[in-house]
Amino acid sequence: MTSGKIRWGILGPGSIAKSFAGGVAGSRTGTLEALGARNPAKPGLAETFPGARILDGYEALLADGQVDAVYISIPHPGHAEWAIKAAEAGKHVLCEKPLALTAFEADAMMHAARKAGTFLGEAFMYRLHPQTLQLVDLIKSGAVGEVRMIKSSFGFAMPGFMPEHRLYANDLAGGGILDVGGYPVSMARLIAGAAIGQPFAEPDKVAGTAHLGQSGVDEWASALLHFPGGIVAEVSCSISLDQDNVLRIFGTKGRIEVPDFWFAGGNRDVGPGRIEVIRSGAAREVISLNETRHLYSFEVDAAGEAIQAGRQEFAWPGMSWADSLGTLRVLDKWRAAVGLEYGIEKPAKRINTISGRPLRTDGDTIGKRTIPDLPKPVSLLALGFEDFRSFSSGSILLDAYFEAGGNLFDTGFVYGGGYTETLLGEWLKNRGVRDQSVIIAKGAHSPLCYPDVIAKQLAQSLDRLQTDHVDIYFMHRDNPDVPVGEFVDAMDAEARAGRIRGLFGGSNWTMERVDEAIAYAEKNGRQKPGALSNNFSLAEMLEPIWPGCITSSTDAWKAWLTARQMPNFAWSSQGRGFFTDRAGRDRTDNEELVRVWYSEKNFGRRDRAIELARKLGKSPIHVALAYVLAQPFPSVPLIGPRTLDELEDSLKALDVKLTPEDVAWLDEGPERRRA
């Protein structure tokens, strides 16, 4: 709880910062304390921001002890960096829209705020104006029947192409989609949600198009959003084209129209609020709210009330974190559909971490271990990252993992159609950490599981990875129709050529096939297969998740791995959600969980993981991951977090130290009671 008025600092002067200052002056909860400017001597700042101390630079604002909360009004590319730095400085943050360039950046901002215990809100001021709540109430009351379609635009025409202006500047993430496209998208999601009794709704289909001008930014663009239940939204935006800018909501009994809803029919000072309801066969009904308060004062007070109450997000109908992420995911899909990636998102210019700092190389949260025949120590956890499709999104997770001490990266020739390897190669080169990193590569996935494929695919992998070798190589599948010696010969040839400089082996190979391969290598003077990458977890895989997969979680496999001291790089090491609330004896909605993991033996293991987790103050999934780490053979779990929160949560398993007795008890139950 925070008592008294919130002392605001503004990070970056500008026209919208001036409007926000007016909102603070007209608010009940805030006062304007300071302005951080990179050119504090610029004429007119004191007059434009009366009462504010003018500070030299953004860092000075964050260091100021008299500032409680920061309003970030600089161009889009700086939002993530300065919101994260503000959270680290203990400052609450209200950030201009768009909250970030992508949902991945926004997630990193939320991660920082969550850790700091600070407020973070996206400044869509229209969401806090009384007009928005009135509009939602009309939808919920059925004023126009059942909502079927939403049409909305936010478009204007600049005087002409102005390469120096931020709206046309590629390096400032110009264009309409990010500057104003979020307004119709966020409103469509709000209305679709109101129609089904939810705070907002997520579209299940997004199709977008745009005209990219000479600077590569979108000058006019449109998108179609389809929501579950059949609601369709048509949204458009522009910076080089005037549009009518009317929100239209079509229902089975009429329609609603709201002009310039983001200004509530007014301007940046006052939005009086005006909604028109047109029903079939009835006169047009005009609902005038006659608001006179400063347009920005509503969001200032909503943020202030949240901060005073100790909340980290806006109360509805303000933009919650989930709401902001949902809107940005739509904008991400819209941009992807039109091929709009800004130069500042690409490796050449994305040289620092999301917080704007160089990559740290001294992290030790993730410990390291030595594995025979590997020249470099490897981190206890290996990172897989198949979900990312751009450098700017993937580098956030890669940076965080590396800064925590991770250096083991799991890739595959088929992952993401090759993009996973490309992304890692770009990141390793950009960050300059190839020599400190250990790359796992995989190839020869079925149906192309033949000896002659290994060299061909590895050559492509090395090109994508921008390196001349990998440290660990696995055949992604096995082909029992091919004599195992031919596969050993093919991998041995790559090792002799220096393109594999460590271990090679098989992923999803049977122990019989591995034994045969080792015997062949010993007899013929070849390098022996020295590692596996099979499924291994506390829960035993009952049937393959995907065709051709092999589990190594059986008693026979555990004995074999221990006797051989065979390193296993375990995929699905946490049971793909079996140790979370997604699973349970009464939870049968997830077909994969039921088919692959549901057995009474596995549920017994899950019960014991839950019991131990409670005693340790951890989660069952931490215990399950710790179980994989605590095996009596070299066992390296592969993890695949999609967010920084998921990564940080996985790392909590490293605090769980299981004894051999713990491992046996988790595996076998009461007959092996923990000491």
Q: What is the pLDDT of residues 291-347, one digit of tens each?
A: 999 999 999 999 999 999 999 999 999 999 999 999 999 999 999 999 999 999 999
Same domain, 69 and 150: no
Same domain, 111 and 134: no
pLDDT of residue 124 exceeding 60, the answer is yes
Same domain, 66 and 136: no
Closest to 245 measured CA to CA, from 151, 320, 167, 338: 151
Same domain, 47 and 76: yes
For 354, residues 6+ apart whose C-beta sits below 8 A from its C-beta are 80, 81, 84, 105, 108, 395, 396, 399
The structure tokens 């800018």 sit at 245
Of 62, 89, 123, the domain-final residue: 123
- Residue 596, both tokens: 């692959």
pTM, two decimal places = 0.95
Model pLDDT, residue 675: 46
CATH classification at residue 113: 3.40.50.720
Q: Does residue 423 belong to any structural domain of this protein?
A: no
Q: What is the pLDDT of residues 405-424, one digit of tens each?
A: 999 999 999 999 999 999 99
Q: What is the pLDDT of residues 38-47, one digit of tens each?
A: 999 999 999 9
Where would I find the beta strands (DSSP E) of 91-244?
Answer: 92-96, 120-123, 147-155, 205-212, 218-226, 232-238
DSSP code at position 535: B
- Residue 385, both tokens: 């990252």
What is the percent of the chain with per-residue pLDDT over 70, rounded to a whole number?
A: 99
Same domain, 92 and 136: no
User: How far apart, in whole angstroms, are the C-alpha atoms of residue 589 and residue 359?
Assistant: 42
pLDDT of residue 674 exceeding 70, the answer is no
The structure tokens 């202030």 sit at 304
Q: Does residue 466 belong to any structural domain of this protein?
A: no
Q: What is the pLDDT of residues 151-176, one digit of tens each?
A: 999 999 999 999 989 999 999 999 99
Q: What is the pLDDT of residues 464-484, one digit of tens each?
A: 999 999 999 999 999 999 999
Please say whether the beta carbons of 185 and 333 come within 8 A.
Answer: no
363: phi then psi, degrees, rounded to nearest 5: -70, 150
User: How far apart, in whole angstroms, are the C-alpha atoms of residue 628 and residue 561?
Assistant: 13
Average pLDDT, the chain: 96
| Type of residue found at 383 | L
Of 81, 96, 123, the domain-final residue: 123
User: How far apart, in whole angstroms, are the C-alpha atoms of residue 359 and residue 429?
Assistant: 13
Same domain, 131 and 119: no
Q: Does residue 261 belong to any structural domain of this protein?
A: yes
Model pLDDT, residue 446: 95
| Domains of the chain: total | 2
pLDDT, mean of residues 593-599:
95
Of 345, 360, 387, the domain-final residue: 345
Same domain, 93 and 135: no
Same domain, 34 and 132: no
Q: Does residue 663 belong to any structural domain of this protein?
A: no
pLDDT of residue 1 exceeding 60, the answer is no
SS3 of residue 567 by DSSP:
coil
Please say whether the beta carbons of 470 and 504 come within 8 A.
Answer: no
Model pLDDT, residue 319: 97
User: How far apart, in whole angstroms, are the C-alpha atoms of residue 84 and residue 621?
Assistant: 28
CATH classification at residue 322: 3.30.360.10
pLDDT of residue 3 exceeding 80, the answer is no
Confidence of residue 565 (pLDDT cuts 50, 70, 90): very high
Cis-peptide into 272, omega within 30 deg: no
DSSP H helices, 389-510, are 391-403, 419-431, 451-465, 484-496
User: How far apart, in whole angstroms, are the C-alpha atoms of residue 290 and residue 172?
Assistant: 37
User: How far apart, in whole angstroms, are the C-alpha atoms of residue 142 and residue 363?
Assistant: 57
Confidence of residue 673 (pLDDT cuts 50, 70, 90): low
User: How far apart, in whole angstroms, are the C-alpha atoms of residue 606 and residue 18?
Assistant: 56
Q: Does residue 529 belong to any structural domain of this protein?
A: no
Could you tell me the CA-to-CA distances from 110 to 114, 116, 460 in Å, in that order? Answer: 6, 10, 37
Beta bridge partner(s), residue 384: 410
What is the signed CA dihedral for 228, 234, 239, 241, rounded to 10 degrees?
170
SS3 of 134-171: HHHHHHHCCCCCCEEEEEEEEECECCCCCCCCCCCCHH
**Range of the structural domain that residue 118 is part of:** 6-123
Q: Does residue 79 belong to any structural domain of this protein?
A: yes
pLDDT, mean of residues 559-587:
95
Please say whether the beta carbons of 471 and 440 come within 8 A.
Answer: yes
Q: Does residue 616 belong to any structural domain of this protein?
A: no
User: How far apart, in whole angstroms, are the C-alpha atoms of residue 106 and residue 409?
Assistant: 24
pLDDT of residue 399 exceeding 80, the answer is yes
Model pLDDT, residue 261: 95
Same domain, 107 and 131: no
Same domain, 70 and 195: no
- Residue 260, both tokens: 């310039």
Q: What is the DSSP string of 262-328?
A: GGTTS-SSB---EEEEEETTSPPEEEE----SBTTHHHHHHHHHHHHTT-SSPPTTS--HHHHHHHH
| Type of residue found at 590 | N
pLDDT, mean of residues 372-386:
95
User: How far apart, in whole angstroms, are the C-alpha atoms of residue 115 and residue 101?
Assistant: 21
Radius of gyration of the chain (CA): 28
pLDDT, mean of residues 594-613:
96
Model pLDDT, residue 360: 96
Same domain, 13 and 57: yes
**What's the CA angle centered on 576, arms 575 and 580, to 5 degrees?**
85
Closest to 525 measured CA to CA, from 552, 492, 478: 492
Q: Does residue 388 belong to any structural domain of this protein?
A: no
Residue burial 288-321, b: 16+ Cβ < 10 Å; e: rest: ebebebbbbbbbbbbbbbbbbeeebbbeebbbbb
Same domain, 97 and 174: no
Cis-peptide into 447, omega within 30 deg: yes
